[in-house]
Amino acid sequence: MEKVLIVADPGVDDAFAIIYALLHPDIEVAGIINEYGNVSQEDAVRNTWYLLKIAGKEEIPIILGAHQPLTGNSPEYFYNIHGVEGLGFVRPRLKDSITVFPFMKVYDLIREHNGKLTLVNLSRLSTLALMHLHQESNIELAENIMIMGGAFHVPGNVTHLAEANIYGDPHAAKVVATHGKDLTFIPLNVTNRAIISNEAITYLTKYSKSPFAKIFHPMMSYYSSQYENIIPNINGAPLHDVTLFCYLLNKERFYSVNRQIFVVESDASKGLTYADFRHVPDMKANHPIHTIVLDFDYNFFLQDFIQVMM
């Protein structure tokens, strides 16, 4: 059983990733930390609560992470891609008040699990950066940390160079890449190709027995129509964040390399991630080495996604 702590900004692809984790028999969700990103933190909290309610798992704690970049710059949200409230055409109605936990709850959870948790970061790296900075005062981090972020020698999705989770707080990304130990980054190199087609969603809507089946189509039809505007004839859309959970349970289906990671913080290349991919990389002293996932078995990903969502 993989025990996970999720950092998320749902957002349609985050929502599918959370659903995947909630439905998968080999994953136990210890808590969900909500950040700003695709949507405001307030919307992220409401959307997470809504998903937990559908799953009947309201006991899973919702924890408040960062609500803005570490620099204090105003966050840029992406309601155009994810819908008015972040879940496409789904508009969760808030009937109850939502119980949320302060940030320090994260450390209670890590302690309760003796650190044997995987932290799966699906949003900006602001909260994770704070955790790395806290760690300097001997507060333990999760055993494994996985991050959806970066674009290595492939185009970005916010600018031609930068991926959204890095671009949203490049200062935090630099802190994490510099202070983290053996982190796993799953960049756009993989996630841009994790496309779930409109036909797959139609199939799931018809046959899935999951309590989430009713929201698959209204979430995805909005999200994929926005992608269609950006990439004509894409037929579907990439569910970036889902790839992290698929990787967690099926590492042999992914190809990765170990490299030092660097982040550009400002100017025209703001949010650019780069690494030295030569056979004998030029390693910088005192800079950690991380895992960068660069390729995957797409057919396996698709089959696995459908099976879990059934």
**Residues with catalytic roles:** 9, 240
Write down the least CB distance from residue 286 to Ca ion, Å.
31
State the pairing for strand pair 237-238/195-196.
Answer: antiparallel
Q: How far apart are CA 64 and CA 46, in angstroms?
A: 12
Provide the minimum distance between the beta carbon of 282 and ligand RIB in the complex, in angstroms, as a whole number: 28
Give me the phi and psi of 198, to 5 degrees please.
Answer: -60, -35
C-alpha distances in Å from residue 301, one per residue of 190, 202, 205, 223, 286: 11, 18, 19, 19, 36
The residue from 47, 48, 118, 123 that contacts ligand RIB (CB under 6 A) is 123
SS3 18: helix
Closest residue to ligand RIB, Cβ-based? 164
Question: By CB under 5 A, is residue 14 in contact with Ca ion?
Answer: yes
Q: Which stretch binds ligand RIB (CB under 6 A): 102-110, 156-164, 250-258, 267-275?
A: 156-164
- Rounded to the nearest 10 degrees, the angle between the axes of helix 170-179 and helix 126-135 is 40
SS3 content of the chain, % helix, strand, coil (to 5): 40, 15, 45
Residue 177: count other Cβ atoms within 10 Å of its Cβ. 26
Q: Of 240 and 290, which CB lies nearer to ligand RIB in the complex structure?
A: 240
Stretch that binds Ca ion, among 51-59, 119-127, 186-194, 218-226 (CB under 5 A): 119-127
- Give the nearer residue to Ca ion in terms of CB position, either 172 or 260: 172
Q: Are strands 290-296 and 254-259 parallel, antiparallel or unpaired?
A: antiparallel
* Between 260 and 271, CB nearer to Ca ion: 271
Of 202 and 226, nearer to Ca ion (C-beta) is 226
- Looking at the DSSP assignment, which residues form a beta bridge with residue 292? 185, 257
Contact by Cβ (8 Å): 275, 261: yes
Closer to ligand RIB by CB, 27 or 148: give it: 148
Rounded Cα distance between 242 and 219, Å, is: 15
Taking the complex as a whole, how short is the minimal distance between the CB of residue 196 and ligand RIB, in angstroms? 14
User: Contact between 122 and Ca ion (CB under 5 A)?
Assistant: yes
Instruction: Report the alpha-carbon angle 120-126-127, nearest 5.
Output: 55
The count of chain residues that interact with ligand RIB, using the rule CB under 6 A, is 15
Q: Per CB under 6 A, which region of 64-72, 159-167, 199-207, 223-231 contacts ligand RIB? A: 159-167
Give the nearest distance from C-beta 83 to Ca ion in angstroms. 14
Residue closer to ligand RIB by CB (options 122, 308) is: 122
Helix (H, G, I), strand (E, B) or coil at 101: strand
Report the alpha-carbon distance of residue 198 to residue 218 in Å, rounded. 11
- Answer with the entry of Ca ion, ligand RIB, none that 201 interacts with (C-beta below 5 to 8 A by kind): none
Among 40, 157, 189, 291, binds ligand RIB (CB under 6 A): 157
The entry of ligand RIB, Ca ion, none that residue 170 binds, CB within 5 to 8 Å by partner kind: none
* Minimum distance from residue 245 beta carbon to ligand RIB (Å): 13
Residue whose pair of structure tokens reads 């185009």 in the numeric block: 155
Residues lying near ligand RIB in the complex (CB under 6 A) are found at 9, 11, 13-14, 37-38, 122-123, 148, 157, 163-165, 240-241
